Amino acid sequence: MPKDHGIGASQKRREDVRFLTGRGRYTDDINLPGQAYVAFVRSQVAHGILKGVDTSAAEASPGVLRVFTGKDFEGVGGLPCGWQVTDRFGQPMQEPAHPVLAQGKVRHVGEIIAAVVAETYEQARDAAEKVVPDIEELPAVVDMRAALADDAPKVHDDLKNNLCYDWGFVEENREAVDEAIRNAPHVTTLELVNNRLVPNAMEPRVAIGDYNPGTDESTLYTTSQNPHVIRLLMGAFVLGIPEHKLRVVAPDVGGGFGSKIFHYAEEAFCTFAARQLKRPVKWTAQRWESFMSDAHGRDHVTKIELALDKEGNFLAVRTETLANLGAYLSTFAPSVPTWLHGTLMAGNYKTPLIYVNVKAVFTNTVPVDAYRGAGRPEATYQLERVIDKAARELGMDPIEIRRKNFITEFPYQTPVALVYDTGNYHCTMDKLIEIADLDGFEARRKASEEKGLLRGLGVNCYIEACGIAPSNLVGQLGARAGLYESATVRVNATGGVVVMTGAHSHGQGHETTFPQVIAEMIGIDESMVEIVHGDTANTPMGMGTYGSRSIAVGGAAMVRAAEKVIAKATKIAAHLMEAAPEDIELKGGEFIVKGTDKRIAWGDVCLAAYVPHNYPLEELEPGLEETAFYDPANFTFPAGAYACEVEVDPETGKVTIDRFAAADDFGNVINPMIVDGQVHGGLGQGIGQALLEGCVYDENGQLLTGSYMDYAMPRASNLPFFTVDHSCKTPCTHNPLGVKGCGEAGAIGSPPAVVNAVIDALHRAGHTHVTHIDMPLTPARVWQAIHG
């Protein structure tokens, strides 16, 4: 019988009721009395000298309260970067200033030149059209290789060049790797592009700044995955507002996928303008603004070489990557192509020698930062593609070559710094073969052939590192933030529990899963537990939700706080029952003196804590509320094996995903239904990257895919039902729940499966000249590859 309660139960989500009845409270649903609206004037050129901005006509436009330009922000800090990468020569990365409103230059289409605040949005928009920027256009730098040329125009005049950093990892391995590749019996080489993506959470970003002159307090309502991080960055580094005078609220948030981690100019602007105007100032992104102002994802160009012996044992991996950072450093941008990418290049395999080189480049494009998977999809894609190519070259089965190289003993120290605490890659591969019905492939292939379609099978593995930590280590790696998580567990006098977590739910279902853990620990019903998140005023300082960290780090913090609560409650129970605390156990919502029939209900103990008449006041404070900060000892390492079957129409090049199976090891699982849903969503995004999505700039830095008319989002009709399984469980060894995180797996593991499948289909049909096609595998590209 599946559980219906506590850890492991597929409980229905409590948050669904409000979302299904139109009672969610998203940021744009908030309207404050006296609210004004801002329309931003955004650069229409990618690169130019901003000689001046004529705001006079806009200022005279009806309803306008004030027009802001870069001049108004001269005394204000720039948007900070939260991670400093050190290059392979020991030097810090080049770190340009990142003004809130453009100062002196514009560096990408969409950069904010001016902001018009008016009584209504349409008035602000009307007036914004009357703002006249005086821009001397400069040649744009779009292509990364061109950006690194000696004579390339510089995105930032005060930097040496457009190279943010040249990172080598592990630098000490460089020569050994070179030598291994020189001497290897076989080297497979692949050059590929990891296509630039636009995150496209369905809720566009919104910011509302509010200011109370009576108390000198500012409040920002924003679509954020991490309100405390925004409070810290914006308060301390941009606007100089002390944290106790600044509240950041991220209410219901309509998806993030990384794009709502970062501190954006619009947030700082609305907070700043509200203080200036002493009125609330609201901005709601139009989707066209999202395309040119939300941080983009991926955008790597990579050459990977895999050295093997004749038996297919991996000897060495060497990669060279150009990573596009866009025009400015977004909050965590430098970490993505480095520590979140290079460290994953061992994959699931015992490759002894690995060297990763990454050159991160400034271009006149929207800043690029973490997007679902963040560095790990880029690592997985190149590795799993080159392995597939190598198997083909050596005439080996793609599954067997992987199995041959699997890491099987744990803990395992990779040559790229990580220590995998646990895993079982054969288990997920075995499970995949079963759930994907690989034995039935040949029959399905024949059926496709009869319809004139080419069926192919792509298989790959992935590993990811979640819950990035510990803080002291990431500090050494350049992080300018801690990566712990926090929770306060407050028990009310009548036994109900409120958990205030620093994690933030924007679709992950924390309001359902976190109570399942508390319910399991105490033995009470989930309905007695409430989760509070998303408001710096009533949650402890936390780092928020990204990188599949909520349950592994935030959940662990909650467990630690709950353990403290239970320890104290046990002492109270011991006092009430006149027993020793060590003789008492908490079971089914009751404290029981072991070996006796003496018991006292959870609620009675809680009441005693707040009505401490019969209470050991000399030893214990009244009340029952504890806070814990949890800083993990290591990452967690979810891993799995994925299989994709496609049908390719050889006449049109159209690829249809017919089947997709995912076998994952997430360690312990709190709510299997929600985990399935997380995997489904990741698969949708990964398949979207593989087949449909691609952000394209022209050579002048104009965004060609600036709306849903040209940027192809996956639709229901592009995807099949998925077959997912997470019954292989190797629990994480170092967090109290044994959990690993599941939010990004689907997006990390699926792109290579799709591409491998298409290449397989073409090879089976005799198109053996096609060794690679860059994503997205549009019909035109596939057709071109067949006929090219």
Partner 1 sequence: MYEFEFARPTSLAEALAALKAEDAQPLAGGQTLIPTLKQRLASPSVLVSLSAIEELKGVRREGDTLCIGAATTHAEVAREAAAHYPALAALAGGIGDPAVRNRGTIGGSLANNDPAACYPAAVLASGATVVTNAREIAADDFFQGLFTTALEEGEIITEVRFPIPQAANYQKFEQPASLFALVGVFVARFADGVRVAVTGASEEGVYRWESAEEALSKEFRPDALMGLRMNPANMIHDIHGTKEYRAHLVGVLTRRAVAAARG
Partner 2 sequence: MAQVSMTVNGKPVTGEVEGRTLLVDFLRNGLGLTGTHVGCDTSQCGACVVHVDGRAVKSCTMLALEAEGAEVKTIEGMANPDGSLSVIQQAFQDHHGLQCGFCTPGMVMSAAALLAENPKPTEAEIRHYLDGNLCRCTGYHNIVKAILAASGQDVSIAAE
Tokens (6 digits) for 449: 């052939």
Residue 633 to residue 733: CA distance in whole angstroms:
10
Kindly indicate which of the ranges 132-140, 185-193, 703-711, 730-738 contains the residues binding partner 1, using the contact rule CB under 8 A: 703-711
CB nearer partner 2, residue 614 or residue 717:
717
- The residues, any chain, with a CB within 8 Å of residue 255's CB and separated by 6 or more, are 201, 202, 203, 506, 507
**CB 305, min distance to partner 2, A:** 34
Q: Which of 134, 9, 119 is nearest to 65 (CA)?
A: 119
Residue 784's binding partner among partner 1, partner 2, none (Cβ under 5 to 8 angstroms by kind) is partner 1
Residue 31's binding partner among partner 2, partner 1, none (Cβ under 5 to 8 angstroms by kind) is partner 2
- Options 587, 651, 727, 769; binder of partner 1; rule CB under 8 A: 651
Separation in Å, CA 374 to CA 102, 197, 233, 548, 740: 27, 11, 21, 11, 17
Residue 681's binding partner among partner 1, partner 2, none (Cβ under 5 to 8 angstroms by kind) is partner 2
**CB 708, min distance to partner 2, A:** 4
- Does residue 527 bind partner 1 (CB under 8 A)? no
CB nearer partner 1, residue 99 or residue 694:
694
**CB 311, min distance to partner 2, A:** 37
Q: Which of 445, 565, 568, 549 is nearest to 503 (CA)?
A: 549
CB atoms within 10 A of CB 770: 17
Separation in Å, CA 48 to CA 102, 132, 348: 11, 14, 46
- Options 44, 276, 492, 705; binder of partner 1; rule CB under 8 A: 705
Alpha helices (runs of H) in 451-494, residue ranges in sequence order: 471-476
Judge whether 316 and 354 are in contact, CB under 8 Å: yes
Stretch 95-124: interaction string toward partner 1, x if CB under 8 A: ---------------------------x--
**CB 41, min distance to partner 1, A:** 13
Residue 528 to residue 515: CA distance in whole angstroms:
8
Residue 12's binding partner among partner 2, partner 1, none (Cβ under 5 to 8 angstroms by kind) is partner 2
Name the site residues for partner 2 (rule: CB under 8 A). Answer: 12-13, 15-26, 28-29, 31, 122, 200-204, 252-255, 257, 286-288, 506-509, 672-674, 676-677, 680-685, 687, 707-709, 713-717, 719, 721-725, 746
Judge whether 601 and 572 are in contact, CB under 8 Å: no
Residue 651's binding partner among partner 1, partner 2, none (Cβ under 5 to 8 angstroms by kind) is partner 1
Residue 652's binding partner among partner 2, partner 1, none (Cβ under 5 to 8 angstroms by kind) is partner 1
Tokens (6 digits) for 43: 């650069």
- Options 91, 472, 527, 652; binder of partner 1; rule CB under 8 A: 652
Helices (H) and strands (E) in the chain, counts: 19, 28
Q: What does the DSSP 8-state code read for residue 526?
A: G
Q: Which residue spans within 213-267 are E strands per DSSP? A: 217-222, 246-249
- Does residue 708 bind partner 1 (CB under 8 A)? yes
Longest dimension (CA), the chain: 86
The torsion defined by the Cα of 580, 581, 585 and 589, in degrees rounded to 10, comes to: 110
Binding to partner 1 in span 275-314, by CB under 8 A: 286, 288
**CB 710, min distance to partner 1, A:** 5
Q: Which of 322, 285, 305 is nearest to 707 (CA)?
A: 285
- Does residue 91 bind partner 1 (CB under 8 A)? no
- Options 145, 710, 727, 769; binder of partner 1; rule CB under 8 A: 710
**CB 779, min distance to partner 1, A:** 8
Judge whether 225 and 256 are in contact, CB under 8 Å: yes
**CB 696, min distance to partner 1, A:** 5
- Does residue 464 bind partner 1 (CB under 8 A)? no
Residue 745 to residue 365: CA distance in whole angstroms:
28
- Whether the CA torsion 80, 81, 82, 87 is positive or negative: it is negative
Kindly indicate which of the ranges 89-97, 167-175, 487-495, 710-718 contains the residues binding partner 1, using the contact rule CB under 8 A: 710-718
What angle do helix axes 556-577 and 602-610 make, rounded to 10 degrees? 80
For residue 445, give the H/E element and its range. helix 441-450
CB nearer partner 2, residue 617 or residue 716:
716
What angle do helix axes 745-764 and 376-394 make, rounded to 10 degrees? 30
Judge whether 422 and 637 are in contact, CB under 8 Å: yes
Residue 692's binding partner among partner 1, partner 2, none (Cβ under 5 to 8 angstroms by kind) is partner 1
Kindly indicate which of the ranges 28-36, 71-79, 647-655, 744-752 contains the residues binding partner 1, using the contact rule CB under 8 A: 647-655
Q: Based on C-alpha coordinates, what's the Rg of the chain? A: 27
SS3 at position 533: coil
Residue 704's binding partner among partner 2, partner 1, none (Cβ under 5 to 8 angstroms by kind) is partner 1
Kindly indicate which of the ranges 50-58, 324-332, 462-470, 712-720 contains the residues binding partner 1, using the contact rule CB under 8 A: 712-720
**CB 164, min distance to partner 1, A:** 28
**CB 672, min distance to partner 2, A:** 8
- Options 400, 447, 696, 768; binder of partner 1; rule CB under 8 A: 696
Beta-sheet pairing, 112-118 with 64-69: antiparallel
Stretch 717-746: interaction string toward partner 1, x if CB under 8 A: -x----------------------------
CB nearer partner 1, residue 19 or residue 288:
288
Residue 311's binding partner among partner 1, partner 2, none (Cβ under 5 to 8 angstroms by kind) is none
- Options 16, 278, 704, 769; binder of partner 1; rule CB under 8 A: 704
- Is the backbone of residue 634 left (phi > 0), alpha (psi -120 to 50) or beta? beta
Residue 335 to residue 546: CA distance in whole angstroms:
14
CB nearer partner 1, residue 88 or residue 654:
654
CB atoms within 10 A of CB 577: 18
**DSSP character string of 696-762:** -B-TTS-BS--STTTS----GGG---EEEE-------SSSTT-B---SSHHHHHHHHHHHHHHHHHH
CB nearer partner 2, residue 601 or residue 713:
713
CB nearer partner 2, residue 55 or residue 225:
225
CB nearer partner 2, residue 168 or residue 507:
507
**CB 432, min distance to partner 2, A:** 14
Judge whether 339 and 265 are in contact, CB under 8 Å: no
Angle at 400 (CA atoms; ends 398, 405), nearest 5 degrees: 105
- Does residue 780 bind partner 1 (CB under 8 A)? yes
**CB 652, min distance to partner 1, A:** 6
CB nearer partner 2, residue 305 or residue 676:
676
**CB 384, min distance to partner 1, A:** 25
- Options 28, 87, 111, 126; binder of partner 1; rule CB under 8 A: 126
Buried-state track 368-385, b at ≥16 Cβ within 10 A, e below 16: bbbbbbbbbbbbbbbbbb
CB atoms within 10 A of CB 139: 15
- Does residue 709 bind partner 1 (CB under 8 A)? yes
Residue 129's binding partner among partner 2, partner 1, none (Cβ under 5 to 8 angstroms by kind) is partner 1
**CB 692, min distance to partner 1, A:** 6
Kindly indicate which of the ranges 268-276, 580-588, 669-677, 707-715 contains the residues binding partner 1, using the contact rule CB under 8 A: 707-715
Position 428, amino acid: T
Residue 75 to residue 97: CA distance in whole angstroms:
13
Residues that bind partner 1 (CB under 8 A): 122, 125-126, 129, 286, 288, 651-654, 692, 694, 696, 704-705, 708-713, 718, 778-780, 783-784
